[in-house]
């Protein structure tokens, strides 16, 4: 089946702190078509996120399909609060990269 990488379908793919204990991920689409395509593809679900990042379900706080913004959003708990010793992403803003290459089936 033909696929397309998420990076080529989405307008914005980003991660950022949501407070001191969580990192939130936003995948925002320009067109409703691409949003619906990805939403229905089943590639982005709490289960697939857990697999991609190697985390357990308990670390996912929220998973929201946000129709007004054509966006899919999920939030995870950090292992330790932002900026703790041993942490290397104070803003949580470079954790989205693995999402870019997700292959989305086109049908």
Partner 1 sequence: MTKKPLRFLCPNGHLGFAPIKTGSFYRGVETKPDFILADSGSDDIGPGPLGSDTSTSPLEWQKHDLEHMLLAARKLGVPMIIGSAGDTGTNSRVDLYVNIIKELAEKHDLPKFKIGYFYSEVSKDYLAQKMKKGQVIKGLDGRPDLTPEELDKTDRIVAVAGVHPYIKLLDMGADVIIGGRSSDCVIFAAPAIRAGFPEDLAYYLGKVLECASFCAEPYGGKETVIGTITEKEVLVTAMHPEQRCTVASVAGHAMYERSNPYYEYVLGGMLDMSNCRYEQYDEKTCRITGPKFIPSDEWRVKLEGSGKVGERYIGIAGIRDPYTIQNIDKVIEWARAQARERFGDTGYELHYHVFGRNGVMGDLEPVKEIRSHELCIVVEGIAPTKAMAEEVAMIGTRQMFYARLPEVKGTAGGAAFVVDEVLPASPAYIWTMNHTVALDDPMELFPTFLTEAGK
Interface residues toward partner 1, by CB under 8 A: 11-12, 16-22, 24, 26, 28, 30, 52-55, 61-62, 64, 66, 68-71, 73, 75, 77, 79-91, 94-95, 97-98
For the four alpha carbons of 4, 51, 23 and 82, in that order, the dihedral sign comes to negative
For residue 42, what are the contacts with CB-CB under 8 A and spacing of at least 6?
48
For residue 75, count other CB atoms closer than 10 A to its CB: 18
Residues paired with 4 in a beta bridge: 104
Nearer Cβ to partner 1 (2/61) = 61
CB of 60: closest distance to partner 1 in angstroms?
Answer: 10
Nearer Cβ to partner 1 (53/105) = 53
């Amino acid at each position: 089946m033909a696929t397309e990488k998420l990076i080529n379908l989405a307008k914005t793919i980003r991660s950022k702190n949501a407070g001191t204990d969580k990192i939130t991920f936003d995948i925002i689409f320009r067109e409703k078509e691409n949003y619906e395509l990805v939403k229905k593809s089943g590639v982005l679900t709490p289960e697939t996120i857990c697999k991609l990042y190697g985390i357990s379900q308990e670390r996912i706080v929220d998973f929201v399909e946000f129709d007004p913004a054509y966006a899919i959003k999920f939030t995870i708990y950090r292992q330790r609060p932002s900026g703790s010793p041993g942490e290397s992403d104070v803003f949580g803003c470079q954790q989205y990269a693995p999402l870019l290459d997700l292959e989305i089936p086109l049908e």
